[in-house]
Structures are given as structure tokens and as C-alpha cells.
Amino acid sequence: MMIGYVTLGTNDRERGARFYDAICGELGVGRMMDNEQFIAWGIPGGGAGIGMTFPFDGKPATVGNGVMVALAAKDDAQVRRIYEIALANGGTDEGPPGERFPGFYAAYFRDPDGNKLNIHVMSLPE
């Protein structure tokens, strides 16, 4: 495994927490760390988790141009559910669910702070 976790910045902890609680709940994981600064979702010792934090330098959180976090779904139906959950919880559309190329089904959205995410199923031929 290559990635331990990914952290995204927020300017509104409660709004971001509602968004990621809903998405991560559908993925079957809950909060594994939680304090006034930082929340992380995942399973301790499991695969890569996702975190949300106020920037440690005290400046406003901004979006990284070209940065995207890709989340793995179990099937196409879960891709569609998570996309709808994202939009229902303050996310914005960046590309509806669909096959992008053979073996890659994905949807793209931004969280309430503008961070870009993808939810996908990949079954590429070897």
C-alpha cells in the first residue's frame, strides 16, 4: 500500500464534517480521529483514510489546482449513491456517474470547500 491518508483543508469544520460523515458512512467507515482542528475517517490499520482540517498556519483553506482525491467504491451503484450523497450534502457536480473508458466507472464532485473528489470502480484488464 502506498498512501496512508489524505488530508484536505476546510474553513467550516461542521459543514465539512456533515459532508464527509455522509460519504464515509456509505463507504462503511466512521471517524477514527476527532478534535477541534482535525477529523479523520477510516479504519485504524486499514486502507488509506481521509482527513479534514483547518490549515495549521491559521490562513484560510484553499483548493489545490490539479489536486483530486479518488475514493474506491465497491460497484457502479455505490458510485451513483455517493455522488448523490455528495450533492445532497453541499457538494457540487464535476461530472456525473458514467463509464469514462472501458473498465473505469466514475463520478466527480467537489466538497463544500471546493476540494475535488472522485468516486470510482476500476476493473481494468491486466
Given a contact cutoff of 8 angstroms between Cβ atoms, the answer to whether 39 and 33 are in contact is yes
CA proximity to 54, closest of 31, 36, 33: 36
Given a contact cutoff of 8 angstroms between Cβ atoms, the answer to whether 78 and 88 are in contact is no
47-81 pLDDT, tens per residue?
A: 889 999 999 999 999 999 899 999 999 999 999 99
Per-residue pLDDT tens, the chain, 126 aa: give them.
Answer: 578 889 999 999 999 999 999 999 999 999 999 999 999 999 988 888 999 999 999 999 999 989 999 999 999 999 999 999 999 999 999 999 999 999 999 999 999 999 999 999 998 776
User: Cα–Cα distance between 93 and 101 in angstroms, integer?
Assistant: 19
What are the structural domain ranges in the chain? 5-53+67-122
Given a contact cutoff of 8 angstroms between Cβ atoms, the answer to whether 10 and 54 are in contact is yes
The x, y and z cell numbers of residue 77, run together, are 451503484
Superfamily of domain 5-53+67-122: 2,3-Dihydroxybiphenyl 1,2-Dioxygenase, domain 1 (3.10.180.10)
